[in-house]
A and B are shown apart, each in its own frame.
Chain A
Amino acid sequence: MSTQKLILSLVILSFLCSCKHKEGEYHSLKEKIEHEGNKYHDTGISSEAYIGDIKTIQITEGDHTFLIPERKSQIQSYACNECHSKPLAAMQHSSIAKKAHWNIKLMHANENAMNCATCHDGSDMNQLHSLTNKPVDFNKSYQLCSQCHSIQFENWKGGAHGKNIGGWAKPRAAMTCVNCHNPHQPQIASKWPVRFNTEKVKERK
């Protein structure tokens, strides 16, 4: 009978040893992240190389400092004052006035809320302007968007909205509003998914 006891105790012992949670570990993942995050040292990994050819500028908004793509060089007809040599009001009555920007159709909010002049500065076309007529640089057009879309702005600053560029490590680079949303038609169009899995269909038939 002693053999039996021995075997039994051996079995119990090995079960105890097989306890899955290792000692000294945290109760939950959250605890672990908080605790180990407190001891955080910079990893030395850099994502700079992955930003690639995108020209960026650094911005600081609140507690957040990060890079966004530079905009002006990407706009086809910048600088605007190459055509808009005079204030808009003056040009509209001029005899050389052409029907410019015919392809732009404003579909942003509704006509009551917005028109071209909500953002564009008629007196200086190289600039944008805020609702209170303060000048806003084309590179920092997000400052315009954030006037209404304040929640999106908060999310964007934190990193919950807007696509990250390159890598997860420092320096942080993110797309700015106009990189994804056409400011004149900010709604993103629907499209077809890029793939369809025919094998899955077979498997589940």
Chain B
Amino acid sequence: MSEKKKWFTLDFGFNKENATTTTSGCGCGNTSGGCNSHKPAPIEPPVATSCGCGSTTGSCSSHNTPPPKNEYTITADEFDAAVEDTMVGETQKDGFQQVFDVKMDRRTAFRKLTASLLIGAGAVQTSCSAIAGEETKEKAQIDWEEQFKGNYKLMTQEERDATVKRLVRSYQLRKKENISMSATDASEDVLFGYAFNISKCQGYMNCVSACVEENNQDRNSQMQYIRIHEMKDGEGFKFNEADDNYYHEVPAEGHFYMGTQCFHCDDPPCVNVCPVEATWREKDGLVVIDYDWCIGCRYCMAACPYDGRRFNWSKPEVPQAEVNKNQHYLGNRMRKKGVMEKCTFCIQRSRSGKDPACVEACPTGARIFGNLLDPESTIRWVLENKKVFRLKEDLGTEPKFWYFMD
């Protein structure tokens, strides 16, 4: 490549193009291979631009492996030289010429680019461990596979296990902590149902708190699946006049309280409208979302008559100490920005026989949860012996969430 100076000047356009392609190629490779070596371990998870990710691994392995040490270890001398080169160049030349209008082969160009990138980033650390590089590669590998995995609903058992394993490993790599994630399937002869006693609820909102903590909901936007509506006695259900964000001593005189959340409809409109089948009704009646398959179109949100769905308008944040580490793939695992989420009747608990967090937290016993198919279950007793009703029954959505009074 090293020719007369003229060559560079003449073919400047071409060279520029060539150079830029290399830049993007190695730039990316850099983020994974080179750069990491300079930035120590916990790097923010790469922003999910697919191609960025793609080329990261792709060109990383192909570009970086043959000359193994070269990009990693720029000696101080080389580095200084590169800096000097650019400095000197600056006085006479401009733009790309600074970098390219020098006699050099591709390797040197590569190295200089790296150097200037480093200057830009200001993250110069020559000491780097090989392990960090390995981990970054693994992270990139995981991100790549996660980006292009299929819809959970259609995965084979092996694929499901693989993605769960990847997610656990990914969390371990990023946060240095272990989580346990299950992918328990629906059991035969189970259909979950819920009953809410409006004469018992006192509006303490313990359920809301428990739900937020259990399900790792975004703390910044104060997302909450459950809403408790404070209604005036003797006025019927006037949701528009009810207050669902009160803060005074409860129960307030002359009021009653009514909780809403996802009702896990048996004929859920949200499932019908999803263009990519990212949400579906499980065999045990739970309406769940594959967060990684959701494209964030929010059609389900528009279709839900019960305000049961929530959207991550920005990146959800949970302080690391508060993360609930008992997770389920379809339940409370960490979400990302731009996807839907919703109540799953705490699938990570209910599938293994435990009550959802809201039921457990309710100090009044107003919340009743159980298996609708079990004739001896308490929920069945409530349905058969109390005067139960559901909200907006006329819409034909068949919610599995009943209200009753003493």
**Cross-chain pair count, CB within 8 angstroms:** 154
Query: A140: which B residues are within 8 A, CB to CB?
Result: none
Which residue from chain A places its CB closest to the CB of B193 in the assembled complex? A33
A41 to B371, CA, bound (A): 12
Q: What chain A residues lie within 8 Å of B364 (beta carbons)?
A: 163, 180, 188
Q: Are B381 and A43 in contact (CB under 8 A)?
A: no
Q: Is the CB of A159 within 8 A of B353?
A: no
Known: A159-B381, A195-B209. A47 touches B354 (CB 8 A): yes
Chief secondary structure at chain B's binding surface: loop
Measured CA separation A49–B354 after assembly (Å):
9
Contacts of A198 in B (CB 8 A): 222
* Given A32-B266, A36-B373, A43-B188, CB of A160 within 8 Å of CB of B197: yes
Contacting chain A: which of B21-29, B126-134, B234-242, B247-255?
B247-255
Q: A40 near B: Cβ within 8 Å?
A: yes
- Please report the C-alpha to C-alpha distance between residue A195 and residue B246 in the assembled complex, in whole angstroms: 9
B209 touches A168 (CB 8 A): no
Contact B245 A197 (CB under 8 A): yes
Query: Are A192 and B382 touching (Cβ within 8 A)?
Result: no
B34–chain A nearest beta-carbon distance, Å: 41
B353/A46 in contact, CB under 8 A: yes
User: With contacts A36-B191, A40-B189 known, is A161 near B365, CB below 8 A?
Assistant: yes
A18 to chain B minimum Cβ distance, whole angstroms, is 10
| Given A47-B353, A159-B382: A20 touches B365 (CB 8 Å cut-off) | no
Whether A191 touches B204, Cβ cut-off 8 Å, given contacts A29-B398, A164-B365, is yes
Indicate if the CB atoms of A180 and B377 lie closer than 8 Å. no
Interface residue? B190 (CB, 8 A): yes
| CB–CB A196/B247 < 8 A | yes
The reply on B113 being an interface residue by CB < 8 A is: no
Partner of A33, one of B359, B365, B373, B386: B373
* Given A37-B373, A188-B202, CB of A164 within 8 Å of CB of B378: yes
B381 near A40 (CB under 8 angstroms)? no
* Contact residue among B247, B249, B353 (Cβ-Cβ distance under 8 Å from A50): B353
- State which of B190, B244, B365, B378 has its C-beta within 8 Å of the C-beta of A43: B190
Does B260 count as interface, using CB distance less than 8 angstroms? no
Q: Quick check: is A167 within 8 A (CB to CB) of the other chain?
A: yes
A172–B372 alpha-carbon span in the complex (Å) = 15
In contact, B249 and A45 (Cβ under 8 angstroms): no
Which residues of chain A have C-beta atoms less than 8 A from B404's C-beta? 160
Q: Does A201 lie at the interface of the complex (its beta carbon under 8 Å from any beta carbon of B)?
A: yes
Sample (19) of A-B pairs whose CB atoms are under 8 Å apart: A20-B267, A39-B189, A45-B352, A50-B353, A50-B355, A155-B386, A158-B378, A160-B197, A161-B200, A164-B365, A166-B355, A168-B355, A168-B369, A180-B364, A190-B202, A190-B250, A191-B204, A195-B205, A197-B245
Instruction: Enumerate chain A interface residues (CB-CB to B < 8 A).
Output: 20-21, 28-29, 32-33, 36-37, 39-47, 49-50, 151-152, 155, 158-164, 166-169, 172, 175, 180, 188, 190-201
Known: A37-B373, A40-B375, A190-B249. 15 other contacts (CB 8 A): A29-B266, A29-B400, A40-B374, A41-B189, A43-B371, A45-B353, A49-B353, A158-B382, A158-B385, A159-B379, A160-B378, A160-B406, A161-B197, A163-B363, A197-B245
Nearest 7 A/B pairs, CB to CB: A159-B378, A163-B365, A158-B381, A169-B353, A196-B247, A29-B398, A199-B222
